[in-house]
Amino acid sequence: MLEIPQLGETLKETRSRCPECLKECEGRVWKSEGEKSKVYLSRSCPEHGDTTVCIASDARFYWLSKGSDDGGCGVGCACSADPLGMDGTLGKNALAAVGEDAGKQPEEVMEVLSTCLALIEIVDSCNLSCPTCFAASPVGVGAKLDAKPLEDIIMRVKGVLKRKGNIEILQLSGGEPSLHPDLLELLDWIDGEPRIDYCLLNTNGVMLAKDDNFLTEIGKRARRGNFQLYLQFDGLQDAGQKELRGADLRKLKKEVMNRCEREQIPVTLATTVNEDNLSHLWEIVEFGLEYAVCRGVAMQPMFLSGRNPENDDTRTPVRRLNTADIIIGCVEQSDKMLRYEDFTPLPCGDPNCATIGYLLRTPLGVKSISEFIDFSQLQGFLRDKVRYELSDLQSCGCENTELGELLHQFEMKEEHAFRLFIKPFMDAWTWDQDRIDRCCTHVIRPDGKLDSFCRYYSGFPDTFSNLKS
Residue with smaller CB distance to ligand SF4, 135 or 170: 135
Q: Closest separation between CB of residue 16 and Zn ion, Å?
A: 11
Q: Among 48-56, 168-176, 189-197, 404-412, which window interacts with ligand SF4 (CB under 6 A)?
A: 168-176
Q: Is position 236 an interface residue for Zn ion (rule: CB under 5 A)? A: no
Q: Is position 24 an interface residue for Zn ion (rule: CB under 5 A)? A: no
Q: Closest separation between CB of residue 7 and Zn ion, Å?
A: 24
Q: How many residues does the chain have?
A: 469
What is the 8-class DSSP label of residue 349? S
Residue 170 contact, options Zn ion, ligand SF4, none, Cβ 5-8 Å cut-off depending on partner type = none
Q: Of the candidates 324, 293, 268, 258, which has an alpha carbon nearest to the alpha carbon of residue 415?
A: 293
Q: Is position 418 an interface residue for ligand SF4 (rule: CB under 6 A)? A: no
Q: Is position 278 an interface residue for ligand SF4 (rule: CB under 6 A)? A: no
Q: Closest separation between CB of residue 431 and ligand SF4, Å?
A: 9
Q: Closest separation between CB of residue 47 and ligand SF4, Å?
A: 26
Window 38 to 57, contacts with ligand SF4 (CB under 6 A): none
Strands 24-31 and 39-45: antiparallel
- Rg, C-alpha atoms of the chain: 21
Q: Is position 261 an interface residue for Zn ion (rule: CB under 5 A)? A: no
Q: Is position 463 an interface residue for ligand SF4 (rule: CB under 6 A)? A: no
Question: Distance between CA atoms of 165 and 157, rounded to whole angstroms?
Answer: 11
Secondary structure of residue 331 in the 3-state scheme: helix
Query: Is residue 227 within 8 Å of 187, Cβ to Cβ?
Result: yes
Residue with smaller CB distance to ligand SF4, 29 or 373: 29
Q: Is position 21 an interface residue for Zn ion (rule: CB under 5 A)? A: yes
- Number of residues located near ligand SF4, criterion CB under 6 A: 25
Residue with smaller CB distance to ligand SF4, 260 or 354: 354
Q: Is position 108 an interface residue for Zn ion (rule: CB under 5 A)? A: no
Q: Closest separation between CB of residue 94 and ligand SF4, Å?
A: 11
Q: Enumerate the H helices of 170-228 as residue ranges.
A: 183-191, 206-210, 212-222
Q: Among 142-150, 184-192, 332-340, 348-356, which window interacts with ligand SF4 (CB under 6 A)?
A: 348-356
Window 46 to 85, contacts with Zn ion (CB under 5 A): 47-48
Q: Closest separation between CB of residue 353 and ligand SF4, Å?
A: 3
Residue with smaller CB distance to Zn ion, 315 or 413: 315
Residue 441 contact, options ligand SF4, Zn ion, none, Cβ 5-8 Å cut-off depending on partner type = ligand SF4
Q: Residue 172: enclosing H or E segment and its boundaries?
A: strand 167-173
Q: Is position 45 an interface residue for Zn ion (rule: CB under 5 A)? A: yes
Question: Distance between CA atoms of 460 and 457, rounded to whole angstroms?
Answer: 8
Secondary structure of residue 208 in the 3-state scheme: helix
Residue 60: burial class (beta carbons within 10 Å; 0-12, 13-18, 19+): middle
Q: Residue 315: enclosing H or E segment and its boundaries?
A: none
**Up-side HSE of residue 304: CA atoms within 13 Å toward CB?**
18
Residue 20 contact, options ligand SF4, Zn ion, none, Cβ 5-8 Å cut-off depending on partner type = Zn ion
Contacts of 110 by beta carbon, 8 Å cutoff, 6+ apart: 439, 442, 449, 450, 451, 452
Secondary structure of residue 32 in the 3-state scheme: coil
Residue with smaller CB distance to ligand SF4, 128 or 154: 128
Q: Is position 454 an interface residue for ligand SF4 (rule: CB under 6 A)? A: yes
Q: Closest separation between CB of residue 46 and Zn ion, Å?
A: 7
Q: Among 95-103, 219-227, 401-409, 438-446, which window interacts with ligand SF4 (CB under 6 A)?
A: 438-446
Secondary structure of residue 313 in the 3-state scheme: coil
Residue with smaller CB distance to Zn ion, 18 or 390: 18
Query: Is residue 173 within 8 Å of 126, Cβ to Cβ?
Result: no
Residue 126 contact, options Zn ion, ligand SF4, none, Cβ 5-8 Å cut-off depending on partner type = ligand SF4
Q: Of the candidates 219, 244, 223, which has an alpha carbon nearest to the alpha carbon of residue 234?
A: 244
Residue 439 contact, options ligand SF4, Zn ion, none, Cβ 5-8 Å cut-off depending on partner type = ligand SF4
For 49, other C-beta atoms within 10 Å of its C-beta total: 11
Residue with smaller CB distance to ligand SF4, 16 or 370: 16
Residue 48 contact, options ligand SF4, Zn ion, none, Cβ 5-8 Å cut-off depending on partner type = Zn ion
Residue with smaller CB distance to ligand SF4, 109 or 186: 109
SS3 per residue for 89-152: CCCCCHHHHHCHHHCCCHHHHHHHCCCCEEEEECECCECCCCCCCCCCCCECCHHHCCECCHHH
Q: Of the candidates 223, 231, 228, 238, which has an alpha carbon nearest to the alpha carbon of residue 257?
A: 231
What is the 8-class DSSP label of residue 329? H
Window 83 to 102, contacts with ligand SF4 (CB under 6 A): none
Interface residue with Zn ion among 8, 14, 18, 77 (CB under 5 A) is 18
Interface ranges with Zn ion (CB under 5 A):
18, 20-21, 45, 47-48
Interface ranges with ligand SF4 (CB under 6 A):
126, 128-130, 133, 135, 137, 174-176, 204, 232, 349-350, 353, 425-426, 435-436, 439-441, 452-454
